[in-house]
Each structure stands twice: as structure tokens, then as C-alpha cells.
Structure 1
Amino acid sequence: MNRRQFLAASGWAGASLALSGLVTAAGGVQADDPALDANTFHGLRRYARTAFGNIAYVEQGHGAAALFLHGFPLNGFQWRGALPRLAPYRRCIAPDFLGMGYTQVAEGQAVGPDDQVGMLLALMDTLGIASADVVANDSGGAVAQLLLARHPERVRTLLLTNCDTEIDSPPPALLPVIALAREGRFVEEWLGRWHADRTLARSAEGIGGMCYADAANPSDEAIDTYFGPLLSTQQRTDRAHAYAIALSRNALGGTAEALRASRAPVRVVWGMADTIFAPKNVDYLEAAFGNSRGIRRLVGSKLFWPEERPDVIAREAMVLWNTWTPVAMRR
């Protein structure tokens, strides 16, 4: 660890301890704050009309905006635990990507990472958001990095979790999914089977064993909310396949210089038991950003740990958001 990294880590630890005490004393972010159940989440869903389609999103809170970007093949429901914890401090918005969840994609609209960036800009403009704190996971993390690289003025801070990097996109573990998607088989043969057999979904061979540390995940309501929309019509199934196929191209290629030049504070929290994205990504990300606020490694956590550990997301976000200042951004 060089001197710059040591000072950053030391400063982060001090800020984290101080803020943790303040938040706990104020009765704010707590580990036992309840997550939103599916019925409540569905009731909060709204649609923003854009040229990309009607973008489904759930919003809680007021003030400065925070965007929560989900993974594949999930949707905004992934953040049901983080949103109520952070709503007292931010206008928290969890959209569904093009081709995922409940977003109604415009006819002929592509759904690749570049298109997702355009959609987010349109969504932000529609909702009157000049810039946002961004929290992202999995393929949403790739989109977040593209947004930061191409439109740094729209990203105030970035809390990044397990996701694609320029050196690992797509990861080898995703190649069978992409191959099945090209054949039009992935949604039916994987998601369809998991949707029909919850025990299989939570087994070692299912999404549970692959992406979650807790054998009780994903819950029944999560399975319904994630996979139900993608199985509901052939058009939605086709778009889910298009989403997966679009991940075959390394959209992050050539972004390294822009990410190093960015001044937005970036914090990375990584589940070290992830079997999709390799541990080498952590070392790469440690030096990838111009204003890195360090790396936290979560032993035993897998790809979709933000869903299982929303208290960690909330505390890390609060520390990151409270270290941001306009002066720091101008350095």
C-alpha cells in the first residue's frame, strides 16, 4: 500500500467510525430496518416517459438524488432493503433497466450498456436530476462506470460493488448464459425452471447457490418479482435475451483514462466469495479511479450481497456521501 492509499484508508476508517456513531445515535440507519415487501414495492412503482420507453422506477425520500442500479437478471427490487434505510438522507431512485423488470421498452429500442446510459440520462432529465450519487451492482456497475467516464458531471459519488471491469467484461462465467440467449433458450431453460421450482432456484445449481451466500435466498417473492416479468410475454423474453447478448461486448474497453481522470469519490465494496467476477477485479479497481476512497472486502459474500446486506450498503453510502464536497470535486 503506498502513502496515498494508506492516508485514504485511514481517513475513511475515521470517517466511518465517526459517522457510524452519529447515525446510530440519531436513530437513523440501523441493521434491523425493515426491507420493503413485494406488495409495497409494487405499489410504489412509477413510470417515467422517455424516448427509450416508459422507465419503471421506485422512489423514496427527498433531497439530493441517489440512483441504485441493479444486476442481471434482477430489477430495482434488489434495493428493497437499502431504500428505506437511506430515504431519510436522499431521494432514492431504483429504476429497472431496459429489458429488465417492469420497464416498458420503446419499439425497436436496443438494450445494451450504452443504451442504458442514455436511458439513465433521459430518466434523470425527466425527474429533474442534475447529478446523483450512484450505487451499483453487477451489470449495473458497468453502466455506472460508463456514466462516470462519459458524463462525470452527472455522477456526484459512486459506490461500486461486484461488477464488470475493463479487464473482466464479460466474465467467463457469463459466456454460457450469452450462448443460450443467442439461441433464445436462456430465459425459459434457466429462469423458467427456477421460477417453477423454488428449491432448485435456491440450490447450488440455481441462482441462489451461484450468487447468494444465504441458502434462503432468493426469496419466493424475489423470484416472482425478478423472473415473472421476463417470462410474461415473448417480447419481454426476447428483450431479456437481447440484454444478455449485448453483454458479450466489453463496453468498458477504453474507459480507463477517463475513470482515472474523474474526480467523483468512488468507494468499492466487494464480496470475496463471488464465483462470477474474479478476485483480480478488486486489485484492478483499487487504482482505477482518480478519487478512490478505498476498497472493502467482504469475506464470504457473493455477487448479489447488496440484497442480503443492505445495512452495509447503507453505512458505506452514508460515509461516502458525507465525504463529498464541491471543493473536493473541483481538485
Structure 2
Amino acid sequence: MKRRELLWTGACAAGLLALPGCRLTGGGRERSPPMDAAAFHASRRLIPTPFGRIAWVERGSGPAALFIHGFPLNGFQWRGALQRLSPYRRCLAPDLIGLGYTDAPDQQDLSPQAQSDMLAAFLDALSIASVDIVANDSGGTVAQLFVVQHPARVRTLILTNCEVHENSPPPQMRNSIQKARDGVYDQKMARHLEDREYARSPQGIGGSAYMNPASFSDESIDYYFTPLLASPLRRAQLNRHLAAFEPNPLIAIEPALKRCATPTRMLWGTADPLFPMIWAEWLDRTLPQSRGVRRVEDGRLFWPEELPDLLAEEARALWGVG
């Protein structure tokens, strides 16, 4: 075992306590109330930036933590993490450009680099100098670009199943990306809204990306996909967002990742066919300040939404709080 992994194991043993059902450890601080879709919707704000009006939900106070969601979800993905971590951080869950409830101009660039630039402008608009980042799926691409381009702005980084190096985008996405280029991928999202059995089937997102398809609730389906289909512009932006996954932006930043001084922890679901464990291990070898990899047994792509206690436990350990 690497020395850094031994050190991390010791830190976890000292810092990880069981999360009680209604009260978090650390000074008797309590969790925020659970957020359903209605509460999340009521909390949503919009802030103007050069990239459009960025939608975000915020909970807590103190040093900021930035949660970057995956495709085709939005900040609602992090509701459980925000509830558990808001006693320790000012938790920010924005919607990326072209997804969720962010309102972007017609011809706005939707590439991963533009998303990274947007997040820098978003933090500037909120007068936030630095953050802890937690990212999943395509949000992990954005996070890696952000950390190498703005190293002073990232205190710590948690990467869950996401694009890495040559696996960006994964080969299984080629057909979907071609449909997006053809301007018809939005039809798949419409089918999720129209047919909930399909949405939770192995062909849908619920059956392919969640450990338990029932976790992909009706309110989640509505909250994720309704804004994507709200107008011809939003449908077009959904297709352009997915098409912008190519070309791969990550191979070029390998030298910068090898110099990255940000403490980084990988939390990786073992049952995700898009992002297998070998890529978490690649990050562990490549990042000089890696704090190792935690295997999430049977975890699929969107396990962070289903297992917020595990995510919060690891975040608190990396942050040295609680």
C-alpha cells in the first residue's frame, strides 16, 4: 500500500464517525430539512453571467463547496449531499449550461471548456475565491479542466465515476452523440417523460445508471427532463451539449494533472460499464496528491444520488471536518 494511502486510512479512522439519522456529528450541528423537488425548486436562484443566467441552489454557510452534476441531470442530483454537508460548507449546486434550469443564449458554447469558464464566472459573481469540488459523470470532465486551469481556486477535489483521459467520451456514448449531432437525441428524453416504465428499464437511464431503478423517481424524472424539452431552443441546446463531448479535452491536460497539488479522492462505483475502475486507478497513479480510491460496490454511474451518506462521509474526511 502506498504511504499516502496509509496516511489517508489513518485520517479516516480518526475522522469518520457514523452519521446519525437526524443529527450530524461535530458541535451538535443538525442537518437541513430533506429537499424534495418542490423544496429544491423553491430554493433555486438565477444569477447573471456572460454565459447566461445560471440556476443554482445553495445550502449552508462558511467555506464554499461546488457540486458539478452529470449529463443529462442538473443540480437536483446533489440534494442529499447538500442536506448532509450544509452544516460544514456553503454548498452550491449550479445547473450546467444547456441543462437544468440555466438560461443560456441561443449560440452559447456548451463545450466542457465553456462549462469550466462558466463556473469561474459563476464563482466570481458570488465573490467566492476558492471551493471544494465534488463532481460526477461529465461534471468530472469540467472539474478536471477547472482544477488544472484554476489551481488556486480548488482546495480539494472529489471525483466520482466520470470521464478520464482517453475514456472521454466513453465508446458506449458514440451512438447517442451521433443522435445529438443529428438533432434527435432530445426524443430519448421525451420518451423518459412519457413512459416511466421505459425510463426505469435497462434501456433507460433509471435501469442503466442507478443501482436501484426505483431511485429514479417520478419527481426526479420530471425535474430533470421537463426543462430540457421546454422549448425548441432547449431541445437544441440539449443536443448541442451532448455533441460537444467531442473532441476529447482531457488527453491534453495529462501533464498538468501530473503537477496537480490539489488533494483528490476518487469514489468509484464498481458496476458502471461507462467508467470502469481502471480509470479511477489511472487518476490515483497520475495525481501526485491523490488520497486513494474508495470502491463503491455495485455502484453505477449515478450512485452519488442514491448514497449521499457515503458521499458526505468521504467529503467530511477529505475536508477534515466533523
On whether the aligned pair clears a TM of 0.5, the verdict is yes
Gaps in structure 1 of 5+ consecutive residues? 324-331
**Alignment partner, residue 328 of structure 1:** none
The aligned amino acid for 1:145 is Q
**Alignment partner, residue 11 of structure 1:** 7
Gaps in structure 2 of 5+ consecutive residues? none
**Alignment partner, residue 118 of structure 1:** 117
**Alignment partner, residue 85 of structure 2:** 86
Q: Distance in 1 between matches of 2:294 and 2:192?
A: 32
Q: Distance in 1 between matches of 2:144 and 2:109?
A: 19
CA contact under 8 A between 2:157 and 2:264: conserved in structure 1? yes
Q: Distance in 1 between matches of 2:152 and 2:221?
A: 36
Once the two structures are superposed, what CA deviation does each residue of 1:156-186 show, in whole Å capped at 9, x if it has no partner?
1001000001121110111111011011111
1:108 CA drift (Å): 2.2
* Shift in CA distance, 25/302, structure 1 to aligned 2, threshold 3 Å: closer
Question: Matched residue of 2:310: which SS?
Answer: helix
**Alignment partner, residue 105 of structure 1:** 104
CA contact under 8 A between 2:70 and 2:137: conserved in structure 1? yes
Question: Matched residue of 2:320: which SS?
Answer: helix
1:23 CA drift (Å): 6.2
Question: Matched residue of 1:88: which SS?
Answer: coil
Q: Distance in 1 between matches of 2:289 and 2:256?
A: 12
CA contact under 8 A between 1:182 and 1:241: conserved in structure 2? yes
Question: Matched residue of 2:173: which SS?
Answer: helix
1:17 CA drift (Å): 2.4
1:249 CA drift (Å): 1.0
**Alignment partner, residue 172 of structure 1:** 171
Q: Which range is displaced more, 314-323 or 37-46? A: 314-323
CA contact under 8 A between 2:106 and 2:233: conserved in structure 1? no
Equivalences for residues 140-159 of structure 1 within 5 A: 140-159=139-158
Is the counterpart of residue 28 in structure 1 residue 47 in structure 2?
no
**Alignment partner, residue 45 of structure 1:** 44
TM-score, normalised to structure 1, is: 0.92
1:39 CA drift (Å): 0.3
**Alignment partner, residue 162 of structure 2:** 163
Select 1:219's aligned residue among 196, 217, 225.
Answer: 217
TM-score, normalised to structure 2, is: 0.94
Identical-pair percentage:
47
**Alignment partner, residue 257 of structure 1:** 255
CA contact under 8 A between 1:167 and 1:281: conserved in structure 2? no
CA RMSD of aligned residues (A): 1.9
**Alignment partner, residue 312 of structure 1:** 310
Q: Distance in 2 between matches of 1:192 and 1:105?
A: 21
